[in-house]
Chains A and B, each alone.
Chain A
């Protein structure tokens, strides 16, 4: 039996892939199918699921409303479409901002003396030792009206004799953006660093040797060769930002509602799992579409793993 397995490469492969396959099937495929079934159902008055086949939840999500003024039977309510759009644009802005902050830092670390690189990488990773939620709360302490930033600004303004009213920073879209950028920065720094660090010094020298100054070397050699890192980082940042609800919940309050918050509230507050399921699937489809077009253009950043 063992002897036969030793000779049979394809059986070996199957055996090795089995645990993951079972895991994914039980914890991903089955729940997804259940979510799909529930999303076509209807909520009973006491919050249970009535299994039917109706597109009502999806129609509602895209703005069809029966709760209209002046006795109209149906009208367009942009509430949920706005939430979807807001999530998409926030994820986009976060990703762009994270890239523009992470790239220079990753470049700096990759070009630093090898002895110091580990220290810098360690410093990048330190925040990840603290719980995600606690880190978001820390931002609340910084941003709120009586928070650290306003206190320090107050001192400075006071010393300069400028009248100062504390800034309203918490519960704004800006606060959510800052929180998201902060939370996901390491996930962009690491892959970009990895791809930059792999570029051999002799390639920079070759570019210089062939007549390229440092700007041209960066644009023609460094940037293209580090794109796999940027792509991998984008996937690692964009997808979670699309779905997360903790940052917007804590730093956005009731002001900044994202798809994640919508789904959470449908399941917990509104007790409408059918609508929550529909929103979950739409979120997934939106993310897949964006990722699909993005990776078709730039690849998966697989060179990071392969090269």
Chain B
């Protein structure tokens, strides 16, 4: 490994011509550096440019502008078969006319590996994904989960420096997907290979990644660790896309290093929060973001700042949490309360119309630039 970064995208732009004949930037000036041995995710909804970015690393697409570097080397128009990366495709893209063994051997034969070596490496790869003994089956004779493992093994058997995964778990059912998430993460740590993982599933990205690039409209909205992305979303889009958020509109009344006082007309009150965006100034219109699980419900006012009166409009019990919907002077907020106590007693629920006090901790109340 000669370079600090396994993969680097420098100011990459990819433009397509739409069927209507318009030009559209699927990837719009994206720069990111993916470290060696890192589990890196690109997260976003469809059309955000995450898959196109991945395909440019694989070599299936070439950037219109900018450059992709793999192990410090500029890739230019290097075709996929000359890049030391391998891909696990969303559709698996298994060769249906070949057995599992032949599917895995394909990539090794292309390298010119000897038969004995192929046998050994294929055997090891199948063991790694727990498919030993399945080598003679055709892909169609396998379950979806097994096919997914074959696709994974087929890429891993080549011992790439970087493994690219394009929504590899998308077709699996929820339970299997959760199992595979942990398994993939364990495999990545065990092998020490760089994984670049594309997904639209925020929970999946949070579960597995060392770092996440949240993307939208071809641009990176935020790049950071799961904790950073969730606890300190850099803008409203990220706060809204990852997890759930309450948003309040207001105007900064006073601001010092790590505290801002914002007047929220909806609440007719001042809210103290933590400034997140750079360069916020007094008098600026801002958006306040607070996670539903970070709002505390109290039944009486404590002598504290950031307490607001509200009335309960609805409660929904979902097992692990109770979702409480409240109305504070016409501002609708959602509050998730963890069910740490048994709710068997109906009296333990809030009743509709019940008056409560909401408590916001300033360090969880994020002041963001207005979009």
Contacts and interface: CB of A to CB of B under 8 A. Distances in A.
A240 B309 CA distance: 87
Nearest to B86: A209
Given A210-B158, A212-B81, A213-B81, A205 B97 contact: no
B81 A203 contact: no
Interface stretch (B21-29, B103-111, B195-203, B219-227): B103-111
A211 B107 contact: yes
A203 B93 contact: yes
A208 B59 CA distance: 9
B89 interface: yes
Given A216-B110, A224-B97, A209 B81 contact: yes
B96 interface: yes
B80 interface: yes
Contacts of B80: 205, 208-209
A269 interface: no
A221 interface: yes
Interface string A150-190: 00000000000000000000000000000000000000000
A221 B93 CA distance: 11
A307 B97 CA distance: 12
Contacts of B58: 205, 209
Contacts of B91: 200, 202
Interface string A219-260: 011001100000000000000000000000000000000000
B17 to A, nearest CB: 12
B79 A208 contact: yes
A221 B97 CA distance: 8
Given A200-B93, A205-B93, A206-B87, A220 B60 contact: no
Contact of A205 (B85, B89, B94): B89
Contacts of B325: none
B357 interface: no
A206 B97 contact: no
A209 B151 CA distance: 12
Interface of A: 200, 202-203, 205-213, 216, 220-221, 224-225, 307
27 contacts: A200-B93, A203-B93, A205-B89, A205-B93, A206-B87, A206-B89, A206-B93, A206-B94, A206-B95, A208-B60, A208-B80, A209-B85, A209-B87, A209-B155, A210-B86, A210-B107, A210-B154, A210-B155, A211-B111, A211-B158, A212-B106, A213-B79, A213-B81, A216-B110, A225-B95, A225-B96, A225-B97
Interface of B: 58-60, 79-81, 85-87, 89-91, 93-97, 106-107, 110-111, 154-155, 158
